Amino acid sequence: MDEERKTKRINSVRDLIVYRLAFDTAMEIFKISKGFPQEEKYSLTDQIRRSSRSVYSNLAEAWRKRRYKAVFVNKLSDAEQEAAETQTWLEFALKCNYTDKQTFETLDNKYERVFAMLITMERKVDSFCKVR
For residue 1, what pLDDT is reported? 39
Supply the pLDDT for residue 39.
94
The HSE-up count of residue 68 (CA atoms within 13 Å, CB side) is 8
Mean pLDDT of the residues in the chain:
92
Average pLDDT over residues 47-57: 98
Would you say residue 56 lies in a domain?
Answer: yes
CATH number at residue 80: 1.20.1440.60
Q: Which of 22, 49, 21 is nearest to 34 (CA)?
A: 49
Provide the residue range defining the domain that includes 53: 15-128
8 lies in some domain: no
Predicted pLDDT at 29: 98
Give the side-chain half-sphere CA count within 13 A for 128.
Answer: 27
Region of poorest pLDDT, from 3-7, 41-45, 48-52, 74-78: 3-7
**Residue 96 pLDDT exceeds 80:** yes
Average pLDDT over residues 55-78: 95
Q: What total number of domains does the chain contain? A: 1
